[in-house]
Amino acid sequence: MSSIFALQMGAALLLGVLALGLEVFALVDALRQPPAAFLAAGKRTKGLWVGITVAASLVGFVSVNNPISMVSILAVVGAAVYLTDVRPALNQVRGRGGSSGPYGPW
C-alpha cells in the first residue's frame, strides 16, 4: 500500500511542478509585453493580467504539493486563459502572428 501512496504523491508533485511552470511562464510573458499592446488587442490592461498571473504563480508555489485543490485549479485556469487567449492576440498585434494554416492564421 505504501508504494501506491508514494506513486500518487509523486504524480501529484509532478502535476504541481508542471502547473507552477505554466503559471510562471504566463507571468514572465505578461511582464515582457508592452502596455499599449493589451489595449490595441482589445484585452484588459497589462496591470490586470500581470496581477492575475502573479496571483496564479503565488498560488501555484504555495500549493505545489496539492495541485488538485480548487484554488490550484483556478490558478491554472487563469494562466491558461492568458496563454490561450491574450498572448496570441498580443502577438498578432505586435506582428508576431506565427504561421498560418490552409484556412487562415491559427
Question: pTM (2 decimals)?
Answer: 0.85
Distance separating alpha carbons of residues 68 and 19, to the nearest angstrom? 10
- pLDDT tens per residue, range 26-60: 999 999 999 999 999 999 999 999 999 999 999 99
**Confidence label for 94 from pLDDT (cuts 50, 70 and 90):** confident
Within the chain, how many helices (H) and strands (E) appear?
Answer: 5, 2
Backbone angles phi, psi at 64, to 5 degrees: -65, -25
Q: Where are the domains of the chain?
A: 2-96
Give the integer Cα–Cα distance in Å for 70 and 29. 25
Which three three-digit cell numbers place residue 26?
A: 504566463
